[in-house]
Structure 1
Amino acid sequence: MNLRQLKYFIATAETGQVSRAANVLSISQSSVTGAIKDLEHELDAELFHRSSQGMELTEPGRKLLAAAQEILEKVDAAGKLTHRQAEVQGRISIAATYTVMGYFLPSHLDRIAQRFPGLDIRLHELNRESIEEGLLSDRFDMALVLTSNLANPDIETETLFRSPRRLWVPTGHALSKGGKARFGAIAQEPYIMLTVDEAAHTTMKYWSQTVYRPDVILRTTSVEAVRSMVANGQGVTILSDMVYRPWSLEGKRLETVSTDIEPPTMDVGLAWRKASVFSAPMQVIHDYFLQSFAAPQMSQAFGRG
């Protein structure tokens, strides 16, 4: 999903006809039709009732229209701020948990440094409890964390995206064949338990909602150790797509499989002390991430992603 598709969709919804939308946008009708079909495929929903009289929004289409208009308004507002924010100077202290620091932040830090050269970002990698304490004591301005692990009422959060959890198995494993893997079958396999960022606690929480228990043969804080052991056929695990890679450090392959009972997503987002007054650097970081993840949130609104 992209902003171009949303613009084409809005134009069609507002004009009621593909031909009129194409004229307004000064593009071909096939471009508009293709964008709408791509959106319908992405959202797995019919957005228009098509007839000889034109295009009439369906119920999912009406929901999308409201959300799409809000997203484009936010993107427009963020674009107007970009030039002014590029001149912002100052220091900001940002904390992050291990998983976020290793698998999410690096590419964004590079973009932020290029877009806002006046920002002096001080990073701190800590566990959730230390980050919460640091936010509440004003040692950190903001944090990028697994918001699905936070529940402190004095900390405000904004989830940027939700990463599904799936079963990891070596390529060609029996559980990768025949549709979704059953928890009962997974319980019969050696299980590699990741413990970093409260992963073990989360794992046991959703396993406890079944009648099964994982046969844990190793607990480790290393994602790469988990990946290697799975790829080598020494066990299986359930982890999020964000940390998944289809090969181990030794070059062996692994794959993911959906499960019959869907585990909770791993949610990543921003956190700050409730009622904090945003400094200019804090506002820049907040707006950057909201702009970067505006479109993915659309998929979430329709139950995907």
Structure 2
Amino acid sequence: MRFSLRQIKYFAATAELGQISRAAVELSVSQSAVTISIRDLEEGLGYKLFIRQSHGMELTDNGRHFLTRAYAILAAVDDARNMPQEIAPVSGELTLAATYTVMGYFLPDHLQRLSLLYPALRIRMLELDRDTIESGLLAQNYDMAMLLTSNVRNPAIQTETLFSSQRRLWVSPQHRFAAKRQVSFADIAQEPFIMLTVDEAADSALRYWHLHGFEPNVALNTKSIEAVRSLVANDLGVAILSDMVYRPWSLEGKRIETIKPVESIPSMNVGLAWRADASMSPAMNTVRQYFKQRYLDPQNPHGSSHR
């Protein structure tokens, strides 16, 4: 059984986006290239990865299992590409605070990589809200933080945004919006809206809703991203959330589609923060340079997106 990295990339993109046409656009290739790649991959594996439906491509049980392995392969290749050219020995301890969203949907993978690259560096993690993080940085309780830099208010806190995650409308495949390429806030305002409240998400949402002169028809406020995912997938409402927390399926295995609203929505910015007048320790510099290389290095083709 042989398969190529290109086949894995095309398969993963189709699984995430649910349609060969959308995967082709995302990958900047022809639809036929994606179709042929998936067909050859299925033939090589000896089983079907997708069920072809009228609304798009739905993963089979084998397809779901293979997707987990595909992600592991792509992550390993990404690690190899981003391996620092020179790894200087670094030791010591660093206290890194993080907000809920960043801790759950961004940091774990990077913490593992840092532990492999710098085994003598001990990173002590704390999950806290933004207000606590800001006051803790100023009081020197924590060395650095990883949070939504777009939410930081205190000018005494230095921030460095690593990437911006696009916010999109989430709907079920059965929703009347699912067949549309774009939807306006006037249309979204007529639908039951599932409002995420964790990490000041509701405050951020209301700012861009009010900017466009509309009010969401909130059916439920919840701190649980998985609750939002399940309610949307079961066609009980819609939501607007960032690509960083997007997954194509709910816990029940039901699909979620995304649509770009007509009106502009501010991205969710993620990055590092520290006290502006703090002296950078070797451990702090190591962590900062690791993230800068992965996300801000112009030679890194994966640095400008995160999904």
Partner Cα distance (2:237, 2:226) in 1: 14
1:213 lines up with 2:210 in the alignment = no
* SS of equivalent residue, structure 2 residue 183: coil
Structure 1 residues 304 and 242 mapped into 2: Cα distance closer, same or farther (>3 Å)? closer
Aligned to 1:203: 205
Aligned to 1:83: 87
1:164 lines up with 2:166 in the alignment = yes
In the TM superposition, what are the counterparts of 1:95-106 in structure 2 within 5 Å?
Answer: 95-106=97-108
Quote how far apart the aligned CAs of 1:127 are.
Answer: 0.3
Quote how far apart the aligned CAs of 1:208 are.
Answer: 0.4
Greater Cα offset, 288-297 or 165-174: 288-297
Partner Cα distance (2:205, 2:281) in 1: 37
Contact 2:174–2:235, Cα closer than 8 Å, also in 1: no
Aligned to 1:191: 193
Partner Cα distance (1:138, 1:255) in 2: 43
Structure 1 residues 265 and 300 mapped into 2: Cα distance closer, same or farther (>3 Å)? farther
The amino acid of 1:242's aligned partner reads: M
Structure 1 unaligned blocks of 5 or more:
1-40, 43-77
Partner Cα distance (2:87, 2:228) in 1: 44
Partner Cα distance (2:87, 2:101) in 1: 32
Contact 1:161–1:296, Cα closer than 8 Å, also in 2: no
* SS of equivalent residue, structure 1 residue 206: helix
1:147 lines up with 2:154 in the alignment = no
Quote how far apart the aligned CAs of 1:275 are.
Answer: 1.8
Contact 1:161–1:297, Cα closer than 8 Å, also in 2: no
Structure 2 unaligned blocks of 5 or more:
1-27, 30-82
Quote how far apart the aligned CAs of 1:293 are.
Answer: 0.8
Quote how far apart the aligned CAs of 1:177 are.
Answer: 1.9
Contact 2:99–2:129, Cα closer than 8 Å, also in 1: yes
Q: TM-score, normalised by structure 1?
A: 0.70
In the TM superposition, what are the counterparts of 1:1-305 in structure 2 within 5 Å?
Answer: 79=84, 82-84=86-88, 87-295=89-297
User: 1:123-160 CA distances to partner (integer Å, 9 max, x unpaired)?
Assistant: 00000000001100000000000001012110111000
The amino acid of 2:192's aligned partner reads: P
The amino acid of 2:127's aligned partner reads: E
Greater fraction of residues in helix: 1
Contact 1:92–1:282, Cα closer than 8 Å, also in 2: yes
Structure 1 residues 249 and 187 mapped into 2: Cα distance closer, same or farther (>3 Å)? same
Q: TM-score, normalised by structure 2?
A: 0.70
RMSD: 2.4
Quote how far apart the aligned CAs of 1:164 are.
Answer: 0.3
User: 1:200-254 CA distances to partner (integer Å, 9 max, x unpaired)?
Assistant: 0000000001232111010000000000000001000000000000100011111
**Which stretches of structure 1, 4 residues or more, deviate above 6 A after TM superposition?**
296-305
User: 1:248-284 CA distances to partner (integer Å, 9 max, x unpaired)?
Assistant: 0011111100001121000000000002111111111
* SS of equivalent residue, structure 2 residue 182: coil
Quote how far apart the aligned CAs of 1:182 are.
Answer: 1.0
* SS of equivalent residue, structure 1 residue 172: coil
Contact 1:160–1:297, Cα closer than 8 Å, also in 2: no
* SS of equivalent residue, structure 2 residue 261: coil
Quote how far apart the aligned CAs of 1:301 are.
Answer: 11
Q: State the identity as a percent.
A: 51
The amino acid of 2:121's aligned partner reads: L
* SS of equivalent residue, structure 2 residue 158: strand
Structure 1 residues 241 and 303 mapped into 2: Cα distance closer, same or farther (>3 Å)? closer
Aligned to 2:20: none
The amino acid of 1:245's aligned partner reads: R
Partner Cα distance (1:130, 1:172) in 2: 41
* SS of equivalent residue, structure 2 residue 115: helix
Quote how far apart the aligned CAs of 1:302 are.
Answer: 9.9
Partner Cα distance (2:249, 2:109) in 1: 20
Structure 1 residues 296 and 269 mapped into 2: Cα distance closer, same or farther (>3 Å)? farther
* SS of equivalent residue, structure 2 residue 110: helix
Quote how far apart the aligned CAs of 1:299 are.
Answer: 8.3
- The aligned length equals 227
Quote how far apart the aligned CAs of 1:298 are.
Answer: 8.1
